[in-house]
């Protein structure tokens, strides 16, 4: 069909071009390599035609047209640059510079500013209008985003980014005329607004009005000509958003979302607070040398050899005295797949331990123990399919902490496409956009799920013949809805919402269920079974995946699940750990890892990029490792099917060995030969192992 | 042919532009072979009742009555007036005080600073009065050419002088314009 649409023939600066009829003049020019200066236009945002920087002459008309909002037309004659146009653009710039405080010499954004770049390009070497010197407020109540109204040109990019990229609708214009300001909510200060600190506004701001409170000072930033950019992915959660990080002199200056992000990725450079800001926080004192605790409890620097020797000798002693299961291994959920493979092989082959887990709560794995049916694998649907859903049921989903972008993706679907949605759980994270919300105490969600399943089956039995789900119909014990409603103290409004949720779910053709990690972690097999069966009432997504998205606590939680063979804490309860090895990572979510190291261990070695403050008391050996941003590695996505390569951004201090190397060295001392060959071969091995589990060998 | 005469002055400024001029290094020899430098901080020639010159170059914004007098006199005495550096072109760093009233500025400077004890605001008929706001040169007199930058690149001034010697009003190309 599309091929039938005739291209439009037009002339731009004397050059005859053929373009698609739905384009604007600006797009047509850009496609043909003709540059038109722009300011309020941004590749990731809709166009507003507000700044008039992109004006062009159309068919010699006396009035210039804003090319970003003027559609092309057959036979159109466009002139993008002549003296009149340049003069117009320069005059607009002069007004912008004179309106507020745009003195580059005392602006920290100088050198990284689109307004300044345009002034240079259009040779604005002086102002012909007097400057206003009117004072505007500055909002630095946030520790992430600074807003200096004096630098604002009211282009509205941030307003559009807030609605189009993050779906938050927090920023908007306030007041009128020269007193117009960008405002948070109903003219709140930043800290008291509903802003989620995703930083989309700051990434698109063409001046220094919205700026990062971290690392924006001249002395840190230096000059943009010395900057280097690295395209990589953010490993802090399973969404693995593509990023562009800016480095100067081995210092990380900023992390921005990649635009365009690529197929099915969060749009427009979307990131979250953690990925954009928290990574810039200093997490503490770097551990630069291996340290060994002396008899008097003080720490002494040690050589790599002696630190590794002591670790192996002491852990061997623990195994000889108490057995392999007394040696426990804990790895950060941010570790790369490669680190996890080495860590597992060392722990299993070195000490025959069965106790390996992640530091983050791995309870979400409880849901995988259910499985849709015996022998089948539990394959979740990818978070990318939120884009195609027509109904989303969020069970206890509080996504602001672990996967903030998921909440944003759902919000945008609701607002743009009127997608129906429902949340059940203590707080309504979709407020005020969600269709329904049933407030529940934490822990009651699965009881309500049982009710929804039972009621949905009643409805489906009446309406559709469903041979595939007949088994579920038989399996499911009917629940008396009235009893549950009473037990959960649901009021009339919640009961009405419950009925609607059931109807919405049954009527939907492409529903998804988002499961918060604490729900998936509940030790409630019948409740989890009901959740899985509810998903199975609708056919498998793409004939292969359950309509469930299980949120995870750590960046590489899924990699850890697949690679570490987590031990069941209840089964292992009789073996009390006596010694342990901990692999830490920089964790922006929490300054001290929530470690449950049981009792007083005979020996504990910690491999960490920082001084592990919470472990210093019980540890005996500290071994340094590079940060995640200082090493290459691969991460596993939220649903376990995607593997992304995370390229290193910075060089690690020269004296620090990569952690996989440390683990291989440790293994050699334990008489275990871990031969992965090169790092690339290790990466391949890790990738195969993750993929293998996906294809269903684990039951 | 007689060499064209050049005068440079600095008003409310830091001398950075003149330092930048000296940064032309050996190119200075060529330039001074073609022009005659009359009144200038560089020649330490301080009598501003100078005769007619061809080119007047101003560093600094117009911040007090004396600055205004010097600029107005220079404008009368020169054929081409060039605003040199961010202060002369835009007002520059001194415009930081434009968000305060004149009284506040004086009180800040002479009374409220941490190291001041019993400070008084100086007042004497010989001391030039501050203007309410620091102004760029083109807000006081007509200007023929602009060289922004803090400091302006040495090459930018050399370029402008070359253009003037060739009989053209100088307009900096885009790659020579910078503000910081």
B96 to A104: CB separation less than 8 angstroms, yes or no? no
Q: Tell which of A229, A259, A280 closes a domain.
A: A280
Helix (H) or strand (E) segment spanning residue A256: strand A251-257
**Best mutation target, A81, A114, A118, A126, to test chain B (most B CBs within 10 A):** A126
**Could you tell me if B178 lies within 8 Å of chain A, comparing CB atoms?**
yes
**Do A415 and A332 share a domain, yes or no?**
no
CA–CA dist A557, B1 (Å, integer): 83
Share of chain A above pLDDT 70, in %: 91
| Vertex A567 angle, CA A561 and A569, to 5° | 120
Edge-first strand order for the sheet with A242-248 is A228-233, A242-248, A251-257
**What range defines the domain where residue A116 resides?**
107-280
Taking residues B116-133, report their average pLDDT: 92
Of A60, A67, A1, A2, nearest to A29 (Cα)?
Answer: A67
Reduced to 3 states, what is the DSSP secondary structure of residue B13? coil
CA–CA dist A54, A104 (Å, integer): 23
Q: With respect to residue A276, please indicate whether it lies within any of the assigned structural domains.
A: yes
CA–CA dist A610, A622 (Å, integer): 10
**Do A173 and A249 share a domain, yes or no?**
yes
Give the tens place of pLDDT for each residue, A498-553: 999 999 999 999 999 999 888 888 888 888 889 988 998 888 888 788 899 999 88
Q: With respect to residue A95, please indicate whether it lies within any of the assigned structural domains.
A: no
- List of chain A residues whose C-beta atoms are within 8 Å of the C-beta of residue B92: 103, 105
Q: How far is A263 from chain B (nearest CA, A)?
A: 38
CA–CA dist B2, A117 (Å, integer): 41
CA–CA dist A357, A380 (Å, integer): 21
CA–CA dist A206, A40 (Å, integer): 8
Residue B98 has phi, psi (to 5 degrees) of -70, -15
**Do A404 and A323 share a domain, yes or no?**
no
pLDDT confidence tier of residue A340, bands split at 50, 70 and 90: very high
More confident residue, A218 or A414: A414
Task: Count the Cβ atoms, other than its own, within 10 Å of residue A2.
Answer: 5
* CB-CB contact of A75 with A9 (8 Å): yes
Residues B148-158: b if buried by 16+ CB within 10 A, e if exposed? bbbbbbbebbb
- When the pLDDT of each residue in chain B is averaged and rounded to a whole number, the result is 92
Q: With respect to residue A99, please indicate whether it lies within any of the assigned structural domains.
A: no
CA–CA dist A195, A515 (Å, integer): 24
* Residue A380 exposed, middle or buried by CB count within 10 Å (0-12, 13-18, 19+): buried
Helix (H) or strand (E) segment spanning residue A548: strand A548-550
- Residue A401 predicted with pLDDT over 80: no
* CB-CB contact of A284 with A613 (8 Å): yes
Task: Write out the DSSP string of A405-454.
Answer: HHHHHHHHHHHHH--EEEEEESS-TTTTT-SEEEE--TT-HHHHHHHHHH
**Do A371 and A352 share a domain, yes or no?**
no
pLDDT of residue A565: 65
Give the tens place of pLDDT for each residue, A601-660: 889 999 999 888 778 888 899 999 999 999 999 999 998 888 999 999 999 999 999 999
- Residue A569 predicted with pLDDT over 60: no
- Residue A694 predicted with pLDDT over 70: no
Which sign, positive or negative, has the C-alpha torsion A211, A213, A215, A218?
positive
Residue A519 has phi, psi (to 5 degrees) of -75, -50
* CB-CB contact of B150 with B92 (8 Å): yes
- Residue A410 predicted with pLDDT over 70: yes
Taking residues A396-402, report their average pLDDT: 69
pLDDT of residue A376: 60
- List of chain A residues whose C-beta atoms are within 8 Å of the C-beta of residue B96: 106
B173 to A123: CB separation less than 8 angstroms, yes or no? yes
CA–CA dist A492, A534 (Å, integer): 24
Range in A474-488, B12-26, B107-121 the model is least confident about: A474-488
pLDDT of residue A699: 35
pLDDT of residue B42: 87
pLDDT confidence tier of residue A591, bands split at 50, 70 and 90: very low
**Best mutation target, B14, B82, B90, to test chain A (most A CBs within 10 A):** B90
- Rounded alpha-carbon distances, angstroms, from residue A484 to A450, A470, A495, B30: 9, 24, 11, 95
Q: Taking CA atoms, what residue in B is nearest to A118?
A: B174
Give the tens place of pLDDT for each residue, A190-216: 888 888 899 999 999 999 999 999 887
- Residue B58 predicted with pLDDT over 90: yes
**Do A578 and A642 share a domain, yes or no?**
yes
CA–CA dist A559, A340 (Å, integer): 8
> Running DSSP on this structure, what letter comes out for residue A51?
S
What is the CATH number for A124? 3.30.70.20
Taking residues A69-96, report their average pLDDT: 96
Q: With respect to residue A524, please indicate whether it lies within any of the assigned structural domains.
A: yes
Of A211, A193, A104, nearest to A149 (Cα)?
Answer: A211
pLDDT of residue A693: 57
**pTM for this predicted structure:** 0.89
**Do A371 and A483 share a domain, yes or no?**
yes
Tokens of A569: 């804490």
Range in A15-19, A21-25, A490-494, A593-597 the model is least confident about: A593-597
Range in A110-114, A276-280, B45-49 the model is least confident about: B45-49
Q: Tell which of A249, A280, A311 closes a domain.
A: A280
- List of chain B residues whose C-beta atoms are within 8 Å of the C-beta of residue A103: 86, 90-93, 95, 179
More confident residue, A592 or B164: B164
Give the total number of structural domains in chain B.
1
Written in H, E and C, the secondary structure of A306-369 is HHHHHHHHHHHHHHHHHCHHHEEEEECCCCCHHHHHHHHHHHHHHHCCCEEEECCCCHHHHHHH
CA atoms within 13 A on the CB side of B174: 10
pLDDT of residue A64: 96
**Could you tell me if B137 lies within 8 Å of chain A, comparing CB atoms?**
no
Q: Which residue has the tokens 């990690």?
A: A517
What is the CATH number for A539? 3.40.228.10
- List of chain B residues whose C-beta atoms are within 8 Å of the C-beta of residue A127: 90, 136, 138
Q: Taking CA atoms, what residue in A is nearest to B143?
A: A126
* CB-CB contact of A382 with A638 (8 Å): yes
Of A204, A202, A124, A117, nearest to A157 (Cα)?
Answer: A204
Reduced to 3 states, what is the DSSP secondary structure of residue A646? strand
Q: With respect to residue A578, please indicate whether it lies within any of the assigned structural domains.
A: yes
Q: How far is B52 from chain A (nearest CA, A)?
A: 26
Q: Supply the angle between the helices A679-692 and A557-564 in degrees, to the nearest 10.
A: 80
**Do A67 and A139 share a domain, yes or no?**
no
pLDDT of residue B101: 94
pLDDT of residue A232: 93
Reduced to 3 states, what is the DSSP secondary structure of residue B142? coil
CA–CA dist A261, A387 (Å, integer): 15
What is the CATH number for A34? 3.10.20.740
- Residue A574 predicted with pLDDT over 60: no
**Could you tell me if B136 lies within 8 Å of chain A, comparing CB atoms?**
yes
What is the CATH number for A299? 3.40.50.740
Reduced to 3 states, what is the DSSP secondary structure of residue A393? strand
**Do A7 and A44 share a domain, yes or no?**
yes
CA–CA dist A565, B118 (Å, integer): 77
**Do A487 and A602 share a domain, yes or no?**
no
**Could you tell me if B64 lies within 8 Å of chain A, comparing CB atoms?**
no
Q: With respect to residue A90, please indicate whether it lies within any of the assigned structural domains.
A: no
Range in A151-160, A575-584, A649-658 the model is least confident about: A575-584
- Residue B65 predicted with pLDDT over 60: yes
- Rounded alpha-carbon distances, angstroms, from residue A401 to A273, A517, B180: 10, 11, 41
Q: Taking CA atoms, what residue in A is nearest to B138?
A: A128
Question: Which among A116, A121, A126 has the least Cβ separation from residue B89?
Answer: A126
What is the CATH number for B41? 3.40.50.700
CA–CA dist A616, A618 (Å, integer): 6
**What range defines the domain where residue B132 resides?**
5-176
pLDDT confidence tier of residue A329, bands split at 50, 70 and 90: confident
- When the pLDDT of each residue in chain A is averaged and rounded to a whole number, the result is 87
**Do A304 and A226 share a domain, yes or no?**
no
- Residue A261 predicted with pLDDT over 70: no
- List of chain A residues whose C-beta atoms are within 8 Å of the C-beta of residue B173: 123
Strands A145-148 and A210-212, by their bridges, are antiparallel
- Residue A593 predicted with pLDDT over 50: no
* CB-CB contact of A674 with A345 (8 Å): yes
CA–CA dist A307, A608 (Å, integer): 14
Which sign, positive or negative, has the C-alpha torsion A679, A685, A688, A692?
negative
CA–CA dist A53, A618 (Å, integer): 63
CA–CA dist B58, B75 (Å, integer): 10
- List of chain B residues whose C-beta atoms are within 8 Å of the C-beta of residue A207: none
Q: With respect to residue A440, please indicate whether it lies within any of the assigned structural domains.
A: yes
Which residues of chain B form beta strands (DSSP E)? 5-10, 36-37, 53-59, 62-64, 78-84, 130-135, 145-147
pLDDT of residue B64: 94
More confident residue, A596 or A246: A246
pLDDT of residue A538: 86
**Do A396 and A472 share a domain, yes or no?**
yes
- Rounded alpha-carbon distances, angstroms, from residue B63 to A106, A444, B71, B137, B141: 18, 72, 11, 10, 14
Range in A217-221, A607-611, A620-624, B131-135 the model is least confident about: A217-221
A126 to B136: CB separation less than 8 angstroms, yes or no? yes
pLDDT of residue A615: 82
**Do A323 and A263 share a domain, yes or no?**
no
| Vertex A54 angle, CA A50 and A56, to 5° | 120
pLDDT of residue A496: 92
pLDDT of residue A432: 81
pLDDT confidence tier of residue A588, bands split at 50, 70 and 90: very low
Give the total number of structural domains in chain A.
4
Q: Taking CA atoms, what residue in A is nearest to B180?
A: A105
Range in A19-23, A444-448, A675-679 the model is least confident about: A675-679
Reduced to 3 states, what is the DSSP secondary structure of residue A301? strand
- Residue A572 predicted with pLDDT over 70: no
Task: Spell out the alpha helix ranges (H) of chain B.
Answer: 16-22, 27-34, 65-77, 86-90, 102-107, 154-165
More confident residue, A290 or A615: A290
**Could you tell me if B73 lies within 8 Å of chain A, comparing CB atoms?**
no
Q: With respect to residue A94, please indicate whether it lies within any of the assigned structural domains.
A: no
Q: Taking CA atoms, what residue in B is nearest to A98?
A: B90
- Residue A404 predicted with pLDDT over 70: yes
Written in H, E and C, the secondary structure of A158-184 is HHHHHHHCCCCCCEEEECCHHHCEEEE
- Residue A451 predicted with pLDDT over 60: yes
Q: Tell which of A550, A583, A612 closes a domain.
A: A550
């Amino acid at each position: 069909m599309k091929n039938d649409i005739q291209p439009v023939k037009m002339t731009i600066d004397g050059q005859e071009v053929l373009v698609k009829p739905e384009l604007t003049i600006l797009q047509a020019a850009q496609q043909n390599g003709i540059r038109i200066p722009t300011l309020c236009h941004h590749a990731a945002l809709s166009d507003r035609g507000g700044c008039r920087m992109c004006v062009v002459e159309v068919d010699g008309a006396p009035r210039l047209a804003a090319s970003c909002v003027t559609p092309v037309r057959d036979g159109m004659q466009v002139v993008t640059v002549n003296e009149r146009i340049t003069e117009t653009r320069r005059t607009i710039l002069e007004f912008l510079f004179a309106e507020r405080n745009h003195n580059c010499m005392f602006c920290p954004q100088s050198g990284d500013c689109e307004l300044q770049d345009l002034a240079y390009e259009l040779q604005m070497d002086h102002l012909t209008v007097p400057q206003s010197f009117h004072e505007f407020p500055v909002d630095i109540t946030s520790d992430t985003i600074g807003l200096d109204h004096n630098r604002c040109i009211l282009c509205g990019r941030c307003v559009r980014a807030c609605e189009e990229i993050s779906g938050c609708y927090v920023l908007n214009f306030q007041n009128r005329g020269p007193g117009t300001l960008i405002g948070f909510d109903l003219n709140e200060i930043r800290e008291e607004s509903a802003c989620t600190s995703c930083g989309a506004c700051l990434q698109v701001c063409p001046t220094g009005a919205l700026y990062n409170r971290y690392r924006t000072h001249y002395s840190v930033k230096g000059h943009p000509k010395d900057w280097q950019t690295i395209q990589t992915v953010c490993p802090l959660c399973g969404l693995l958003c593509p990023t562009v990080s800016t480095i100067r002199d081995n210092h990380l200056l900023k992390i921005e979302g990649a635009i365009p992000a690529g197929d099915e990725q969060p749009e427009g450079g979307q990131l979250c607070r953690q990925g954009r800001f928290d990574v810039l926080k200093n997490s503490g004192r770097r551990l630069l040398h291996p340290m060994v605790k002396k008899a008097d409890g003080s720490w002494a620097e040690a050589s790599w050899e002696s630190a590794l020797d002591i670790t192996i000798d002491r852990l061997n002693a623990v195994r000889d005295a108490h057995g392999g299961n007394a040696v426990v291994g804990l790895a950060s959920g941010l570790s790369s797949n490669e680190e996890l493979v080495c860590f597992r092989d060392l722990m299993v082959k070195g000490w025959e331990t069965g106790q390996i887990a992640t530091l983050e709560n791995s309870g979400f794995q409880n849901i995988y123990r259910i499985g849709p049916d015996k022998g089948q694998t539990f394959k979740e649907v990818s978070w990318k399919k939120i884009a195609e859903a027509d109904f989303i049921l969020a069970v206890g989903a509080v996504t602001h902490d672990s996967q903030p972008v998921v909440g944003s993706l759902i919000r945008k679907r609701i607002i743009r496409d009127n997608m129906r949605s429902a949340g059940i759980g203590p707080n309504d994270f979709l407020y005020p956009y969600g269709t329904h919300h049933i407030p529940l105490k934490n822990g009651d969600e699965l009881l309500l799920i049982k009710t929804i399943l039972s009621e949905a089956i009643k409805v489906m039995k009446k309406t559709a013949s469903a041979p595939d789900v007949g088994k579920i119909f038989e399996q499911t014990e009917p629940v008396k809805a009235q009893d549950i409603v009473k037990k959960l103290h649901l009021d009339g409004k919640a009961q009405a919402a419950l009925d609607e949720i059931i109807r919405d779910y049954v009527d939907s053709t492409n529903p998804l269920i988002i499961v918060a990690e604490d729900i998936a972690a509940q030790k409630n097999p019948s409740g989890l079974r009901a959740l899985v069966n509810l998903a199975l009432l609708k056919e498998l997504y793409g004939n292969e995946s359950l309509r469930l998205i299980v949120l995870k606590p750590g960046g590489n939680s899924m990699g850890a699940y697949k690679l570490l063979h987590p031990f069941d804490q209840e089964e292992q309860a009789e073996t009390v750990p006596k010694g342990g090895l901990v692999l830490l990572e920089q964790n922006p979510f929490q300054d001290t890892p929530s470690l449950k190291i049981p009792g007083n261990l005979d020996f504990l070695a910690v491999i960490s990029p920082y001084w592990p403050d919470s472990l210093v008391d019980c540890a005996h050996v500290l071994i340094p490792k590079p940060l995640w941003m200082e090493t290459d590695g691969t991460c596993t996505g939220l649903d376990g099917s995607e593997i992304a390569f995370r390229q290193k951004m910075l060089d690690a201090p020269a004296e620090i060995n990569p952690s996989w190397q440390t683990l291989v060295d440790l293994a050699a001392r334990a008489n275990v030969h871990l031969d992965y060959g090169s790092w690339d071969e290790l990466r391949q091995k890790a990738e195969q192992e993750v993929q293998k589990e996906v294809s269903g060998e684990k039951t | 042919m007689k060499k064209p005469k050049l005068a440079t002055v600095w008003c409310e400024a830091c001398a950075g532009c003149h330092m930048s001029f000296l940064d032309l290094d050996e190119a200075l020899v060529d330039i001074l072979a073609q022009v005659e430098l009359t009144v200038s901080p560089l020649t330490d020639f301080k009598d501003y009742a100078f005769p007619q010159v061809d080119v007047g170059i101003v560093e600094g914004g117009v911040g007090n009555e004396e600055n205004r007098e010097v600029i107005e006199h220079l404008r009368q005495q020169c054929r081409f007036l060039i605003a040199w550096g961010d202060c002369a072109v835009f007002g520059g760093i001194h415009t930081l005080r434009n968000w305060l009233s004149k009284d506040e500025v004086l009180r800040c400077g002479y009374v409220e600073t941490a190291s001041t004890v019993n400070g008084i605001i100086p007042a004497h008929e010989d001391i030039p009065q501050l203007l309410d706001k620091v102004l760029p040169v083109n807000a006081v007199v007509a200007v023929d050419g602009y060289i922004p930058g803090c400091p302006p690149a040495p090459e930018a001034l050399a370029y402008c002088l070359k253009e003037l010697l060739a009989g053209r009003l100088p307009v900096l190309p885009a790659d020579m314009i910078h503000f910081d």
